[in-house]
Structure 1
Amino acid sequence: MNASAAIKGNAWVFGDHVDTDVIIPATYLVTSDPAQLALHCMEGAGPGFIDKISPGDIIVAGENFGCGSSREHAPIAIKGAGISCVLADSFARIFFRNAVNIGLPVFEVAGIGKGVADGDSLEILPDSRKVRNLTKGAEFDYEPYPDFLNEIISAGGLIQWVRKKG
């Protein structure tokens, strides 16, 4: 992902305190294959999420997204499902770092959890640090990543970044 490229997709909204067991239930932790994990992405919130989404869609949540167990499987499942990024009022710190480490863009955006509905068309503009809800005509600001996090995400994750740096 190019850290300055705009991201567009439709929203799938979840509430506060979405834990890693909701994102990828523990039953499926026997693999780390992104395609297999993707089949069960967000299954803890209800079956069939993978059948409803389109590539590039965006997960939106309230406070503390990714809380619970520290498992890299959660962001791998989200990225494997074709979700372009996750927007939340806040993230559990370990989920945030795991997402960055596998190259999944995550943005802390104050008020986003209550300002977006399922199906809203969203556009994230990294250069101006804005999220636009194209459906409702609303705009949200967010704080930028430090440069080194942008580099990691742009490289596709921490391993790719380290390989690139040599």
Structure 2
Amino acid sequence: MRVINGRVWKVGDSISTDLLSPGAYAYAPLEVRRQHVLETVHPRFAREARPGDVLVAGRNFGCGSSRESAPENLKALGIAAVVAESFARIFLRNAIAIGLVAVTCPGIGAIVEEGDPLDLDLEAFSVTNVRTGASLPVHPLSSEMREILEHGGILAVLKALGSRSR
């Protein structure tokens, strides 16, 4: 695993999959869908997010219906990781499955402001606000989750397993 260095975007509690992937664009191409991520709660986000940025969220991030497009849209914007106080289980599983880093970090909202540079160390399971030096532990990922992320998603893991069995 690695250290992710990114600029913080910050949202609050209970950000639903409908805010991450609005139903009106459910069948639109990814290039269109990603333009509407968080548009009703953070209008600048989809327009100004840059590859490598980190989304910091409150509690229950990704609640609502199961939409694989929710983490796909974030990944398509170049978001390197989502660090949240807590996740809806289905979002967390979908994110890891497509290779989007998602880690739980109680207290993260209190140590960062939007725009802060953030280091997420996936080896040491810690997050550090580079501007202030404040640091917190993140919940460790299971070895299976780390393997999926290292391969870039579950499909890549399955492909690697399939090629080994030949």
Shorter-chain TM range is over 0.9
Give 5+ residue unaligned stretches, structure 1: none
TM superposition shift of 1:134: 0.5
Note if 1:54 corresponds to 2:58.
no
What are the within-5 Å matches in structure 2 for residues 7-26 of structure 1? Answer: 7-26=4-23
Matched residue type, 1:29: A
What are the within-5 Å matches in structure 2 for residues 76-155 of structure 1? Answer: 76-155=72-151
Query: In 2, are the aligned partners of 1:132 and 1:138 still within 8 Å (CA)?
Result: yes
Query: In 1, are the aligned partners of 2:21 and 2:67 still within 8 Å (CA)?
Result: no
Matched residue type, 2:71: P
* Whole-angstrom distance in 2 between the partners of 1:139 and 1:121: 12
Matched positions, count? 162
Give 5+ residue unaligned stretches, structure 2: none
**Aligned-pair RMSD on alpha carbons?**
1.2
| Equivalent in the alignment of 1:162 | 158
* Whole-angstrom distance in 2 between the partners of 1:6 and 1:88: 17
Report which of the two structures shows the higher radius of gyration computed on alpha carbons.
Answer: 2
Query: In 2, are the aligned partners of 1:34 and 1:77 still within 8 Å (CA)?
Result: yes
TM superposition shift of 1:53: 1.5
Query: In 2, are the aligned partners of 1:62 and 1:114 still within 8 Å (CA)?
Result: no
Matched residue type, 1:129: F
TM-score by length of 1: 0.93
Q: Which moved more, 1:50-59 or 1:66-75?
A: 50-59
From the superposition, tell whether residues 15 and 23 of structure 1 become closer, same or farther in structure 2 (CA, over 3 Å): same
* Whole-angstrom distance in 1 between the partners of 2:99 and 2:123: 18
**What secondary structure is seen at the aligned counterpart in 1 of 2:160?**
helix
Runs of 4 or more off by more than 2 Å in structure 1?
A: 33-37
Query: In 1, are the aligned partners of 2:105 and 2:137 still within 8 Å (CA)?
Result: yes
What do residues 91-140 of structure 1 show as CA deviations (whole Å, max 9, x unaligned)?
Answer: 00000000011110001011012221100100011111110100121001
Q: Which moved more, 1:152-161 or 1:37-46?
A: 37-46
Matched residue type, 2:12: G
Query: Percent of pairs identical after alignment?
Result: 40
TM-score by length of 2: 0.93
What do residues 3-62 of structure 1 show as CA deviations (whole Å, max 9, x unaligned)?
Answer: x2110011000001111111121111113x433322222223143322222110000001
* Whole-angstrom distance in 2 between the partners of 1:50 and 1:13: 13
Matched residue type, 1:17: S
